[in-house]
Each structure stands twice: as C-alpha cells, then as structure tokens.
Amino acid sequence: MSILRYVIVAAASCAFLPPASAADPAPEQIEAQTRKAIDDFQITGLAITVVKGDSIIFQDVYGVRDVRTDAPIDENTIFPIASISKAFTTAALAMLVDEGKLEWDDPVRRFIPEFEMSDPYITAEFSVRDLVTHRSGLPPGAGDLLVVPDADPEISDILAALKHIPPSTSFRSQYAYDNLLYIIAGEVLSRIDAKPWSKSIKARIFKPLGLKTCEATPSLAAASKNTVTQHLRKPGSWTAEPIDPRYIIGDNSAPAGGLSCSISDLAKWAQFWLNGATTASGKKLLSDEQVKEVWTGVTPQSVNPLMANLGSAHLSLYGLGWSLHDFHGRLLVSHSGGVLGGSSYFGLLPEEDIGVFVTSNLSNFGASALALQVLSEAAAPDADSDWIGALYQYFQNFQETAQKDSGDADKVDAAIGEAGVSDAQITPVRPLGDYVGTYIDPWYGAVSIEIRNGALFIDMSRSEILDAPLIPVAPDKFLARWADRSLNADAYVNFSGGKEAITGMTMQAVSETTDFSFDFKDLDFKKRD
C-alpha cells in the first residue's frame, strides 16, 4: 500500500524502440549500486537477489532486523513483501482455472452470493477478473481505512462496506489501485478450496516450490524468530523508528499484501516464473495459457514519468496481479510493495531470463530504486539511467513536502493552514457542544466527536491509533493531528450544516504526500440525531 506504485506496459510497445544490447548484471556493479542505495536512502536493513535462469548472479543482505537490537539480517530472514503478494493470489486462482473450477470472467456472486457493489448492474457483471485488475470504478485505495493503520476487518465487514463506497468513475473505464477487492479475490480462492487463503497458498505454492521460509499469516510472520521489525521515519527525519506492532497488516487482509518471505525463497519464486511456472523439480504448476493470461495487460494507465524518461516506456498496463511495461524495448513484468514500515520491488525481464527482488524493513524508495537500476542495466547497459539518483531526489522532495505539511512535532498546538505550517488556530465559531456527537459514514461506520480536557476530540472507532484533539483552523474546520507523527496522515475535519445545527462531516488529508490508503476523502459522515 505504498505511494510509489509502478505499473505495466504491453509487450507490443517494443515496436516503438529497437532493443538495446542487453547484458547480464556484473556482481561487483550490483554490490556498488546496493551500497549506494543504502547510503543515499539511509536504509535500516535490505536484502537483494538477482537471478539468471537457474543461477543466482548476486544475493546478499545488509543492515539489521531491528535498530533497537542490531540483530543482523541473514538470507533466511523474512520481510513483509506487501503487494507483491497479489501475484500469489492470482497464481492460485489461475490454478483453479486450469482445474476447471473457475473462469476469470465468472461473476463473483457465483462464489460469494452476498457480494454487492453500489449498483445492481455492476454487482451482476462484476467478475473475478475485475477483482484483480483495478478497474472497479472505485476511487484509489477505496475502503483502505477499514485496514490501515491498525484495523483487521472480517471478510463480512468488507463485503458489507463495498456496496456503500461511492464510485469515482464508471465501471471498467479507468485504473484505480484497490486492496479490498484482492481480499475478496482471496475469499473466492478460500471458498472454492474450502480452506483459509493462507492454507491454500501454502499447499498450492509454498510446498511445491520449496518456499520454506515464507509465511502467509501476518501475525505468525511477525512472531517468527527470524523476521524483521518494520520501521518508519517522521516527515523530514532520517531516523528510523520501529513501528507500533498494531500496524502489522491483519491476517484477513493477507491476500492483498500480507505475505512475508526471505530473499532465498523469492529467488525461487523468480526462477519459477522465468521457467514457465515450473518448479525446480520439474513440476509445472500453471499451464502456458494461464501464464500468458496473468501476464496479459487488462487495465491501461498513464505512464509514470520516471518510467518514460529512464526506462523508455511508452505504455503501462495492469494484468492479473502484475504490472507490465515496455522497458528499454523489452517486457518488464513487475510489482512494487509497500506496508507501513516496509518496501519491496520484484521485477522480471523474461526475454533476458533475469529476475530481481529487493526488500527493505523501512518505508522508503530505495528498494524500488535499486531494483530498477539493476533491471535497467540488464536491459540496456548503455542507457545510463540513474534510477537511484532520480528517486533519491524524488524522496528528498517528498520529505521536504511532508515535513512542511506536518508542522513541528514538538508543538502539538500548532495548526496547519492552507499554505503550510502556521499559527492559524482560531476560536471556534460555535460552542464546542454543537459539534459533539456520533457521525456515521455508510461504509466506514461510526466516528465519535467528544470534548476532552476542554477541547474537541475525534475518535475513529475502527482504529485505536487515529484518535486526536481537533485544532480549529477555520470556521467549522479543524485539524486532526495524530499522535504518531510517522504516519504522515494528518487530516482536516470539515463540519457542515446551517446556522442552526451541525448535520455532517467530511475529511481530507492535509498533505499530498499522505499514502492514499488513508482515504479520508471518501468519507461522508452524517450526524446521528
């Protein structure tokens, strides 16, 4: 659930650019790039593996699992791989297609009768393919506040919420990244296999591939003896701090981004795909037809400017759990991953038989920068694309903006105005009691506005973390400044109503750097009488 998400490009776009001469990455060059990324982004802990067919060109680990203990990382240390987990979900679904138990265009209601979207037509037409291709019509990150930063909803909670989330575009017309629907895709797998998603993934993928370190249940991964601690940094700070353990992604949300694996096992995962979905023992888990299916672009999206400038990309598409790009005239099959306190990137160049996986126990852009640097030099060594430098500059700008928008963390009474940090706290235009009450959003549920210690206070009921005093900054407009500054998710709270009474409330993130999984903008609360 990260801010920096790279997307896919069709192989047909290779016609735009003659392929440059490719070359296998040199180990000494990868080592130098890795150390530069670690130094530039001040990464706490990092692991990288680069494979060429059945061989491992480069594999190493750096840094510590936890800044409090300095416990070292090894090649079997597991990291949360976040949204890279989505390809495991779609691979298992593709196996069901091979077995004749599922078709990608089957309606979701065939397997989950209680599935319902906001429109009856969309509900009837919504297919399994729609669950995994980010074309639902819902806004980006729709409903993620059911999951972040510390919630763990039941599947029934998500199903109940989906029908109340208003669409932002028409059905199947635009790309908008979605996690909740991947959780529902995992539920489809679970119901067909008659076992929890985690057990299906272990039986269908982990066991035949020999992925001995991977864990499909986030709570069990977090409790493992050889797992990393996830780290965050406050806006503008370079100091990594361990996350609140409550930020570990919930077990029910795992199909969207809850797997944890080591680089040793992700090397096997890369080789599996480069070998046509065949295990090291020679067992083919997916038909060639289904390999092609999951790697076929479905949903177009705009090309990331960095991908265009540094990767010579012309098109971007999303397939079934994979991003697809033309990349220096070659096909790049990839996915990034981000959770609170962790970031990863997994990329394949099938035509070059190259796979790269980089993961870090810190929220940062370094993992993506390093992976794309290695992939770029494998695809076009003469292109001189400086991914590490470009993303480092992007990260610096990101940090500066986030710090400006967050204010001084030591002054909890500071207010944030439209132009940045200011002392714009005002006297509320109404008695505080006029705002007090329970506010209901159709998909999120209840939020409480109270008076504590003489000031307004917001209690986001689904989260123990998102509770804060409200600072008045404009008429009927307040600032919620969450206690954990590393979340970078402060929000404006806008009350509505006439002169007589407050009738509702909306919210919006203060900073453009706030991760879209904090989808405050999609909330529309009505005050309960």
DSSP 324-384: EEEETTEEEEEEEEEETTEEEEEEEEGGGTEEEEEEESBSSSHHHHHHHHHHHHHH-TTS-
Residue with tokens 């549920």: 445
Q: Please compute the mean of the pLDDT values over residues 338-357 and round it to a whole number.
A: 98
The pLDDT assigned to 490 comes to 97
The pLDDT assigned to 6 comes to 30
CA-to-CA distance for 144 and 153, rounded, in angstroms? 10
CA-to-CA distance for 513 and 395, rounded, in angstroms? 11
**Is the pLDDT assigned to residue 333 strictly greater than 60?**
yes
Closest CA to 521 of 92, 166, 44: 166
Both tokens of 88, joined, read: 């495991």
Write out pLDDT tens, residues 294-308.
999 999 999 999 999
b/e sequence 175-191, b meaning 16+ C-beta within 10 Å: bbbbbbbbbbbbbbbbe
CA-to-CA distance for 368 and 196, rounded, in angstroms? 31
Of the two residues 423 and 56, the one the predictor is more confident about is 56
CA-to-CA distance for 313 and 303, rounded, in angstroms? 7
Structural domains in the chain, sorted by start: 11-105+214-234+248-401 (3.40.710.10), 407-527 (2.40.128.600)
Q: How confident is the model at residue 468 (pLDDT cuts 50, 70, 90)?
A: very high
Q: Please compute the mean of the pLDDT values over residues 442-470 and round it to a whole number.
A: 97
The pLDDT assigned to 424 comes to 59
Q: How confident is the model at residue 146 (pLDDT cuts 50, 70, 90)?
A: very high
Q: Please compute the mean of the pLDDT values over residues 317-338 and round it to a whole number.
A: 98
The pLDDT assigned to 514 comes to 97
Write out pLDDT tens, residues 169-223.
999 999 999 999 999 999 999 999 999 999 999 999 999 999 999 999 999 999 9
The pLDDT assigned to 498 comes to 83
Q: pTM score, two decimals?
A: 0.93
**Whether 495 contacts 437, CB under 8 Å:** no
Average pLDDT of the chain is 93
The pLDDT assigned to 500 comes to 85
Q: Please compute the mean of the pLDDT values over residues 316-341 and round it to a whole number.
A: 98
The pLDDT assigned to 229 comes to 98
**Is the pLDDT assigned to residue 408 strictly greater than 50?**
no
CA-to-CA distance for 218 and 43, rounded, in angstroms? 23
**Is the pLDDT assigned to residue 288 strictly greater than 70?**
yes
The pLDDT assigned to 21 comes to 53
CA-to-CA distance for 470 and 484, rounded, in angstroms? 15
